[in-house]
Structures are given as C-alpha cells and as structure tokens.
Structure 1
Amino acid sequence: MANKSQFSIVTYQRSPGNWRAAISPHAHSGISIQGRTTVSFVTPDDYASESDAVFAAEKIIKAL
C-alpha cells in the first residue's frame, strides 16, 4: 500500500462535467534507470466532479 504523500494529484476537466486526475510520484533524488520510472498515469474513467476524480486517484494510490 503506497502513501499518498509520495504522490501528487492534478485534476483536469476533459470536457464540461468530465473530470480526470493525473497521478505522479514525487521525484526522488539520485540515479534512475531510464525506462524503469513511471512519470505519471491518469484515472481510467471520467468523473462528474473534481472531488470525485481526486477520491478515485487516492483509491488507486492506496491499491499500489
């Protein structure tokens, strides 16, 4: 289970009434191997409100 403090969540409105959230891990200092680091991912579904999109993103983070 991942801690949500290790991620940033940015919401955006795809079209009126359709919200999604992008989830990005906070950058870690040090060397990383290219191709092995996830930059970000997006909630798979549209949501009716910004708060619903944030809640869905938090559920995804907890499932990691």
Structure 2
Amino acid sequence: MAELGDLNRNNQRLLRKSTFRGTDHNQFIWALQCERENCGHVYGANGSDFHQRRCPKCDGGMPGL
C-alpha cells in the first residue's frame, strides 16, 4: 500500500489521503502532486489509481477528482 510521500512511476507524489469517497470500488480520494519539472499541479484521484496516474496538466492524464 502506498504511504504518504511515495512517488509513482510517473513522478506523481502522494500528499494525503482524504475521507471523501472516490468514484471507483469504494475508494477514497487521494491528493497527488506532479513532481515533473516546472509543474507542481495538485489534484485528486482514486486511491486505487495512484500507481498509474499521470498529471492531467502536463502529461495527458485523466482529469482529477
């Protein structure tokens, strides 16, 4: 399971886990931040998607929640 501060393979860092319900299989929304150079975009995603998420601002990822 991902821990706060973890970075996925697409340079997206897990900032925090919320108590808000997501949209997939009873997941909760996690706040992610893009660590790619000159971005820093913060967005929400289902916890189950963390490992594969790409930044919606600079890397063509799906819109955040």
Shorter-chain TM-score above 0.5: no
Higher strand share: 2
The higher radius of gyration belongs to 1
TM-score range, shorter chain: 0.3 to 0.5
Tell me the TM-score normalised to structure 2 length.
Answer: 0.40
Tell me the TM-score normalised to structure 1 length.
Answer: 0.40
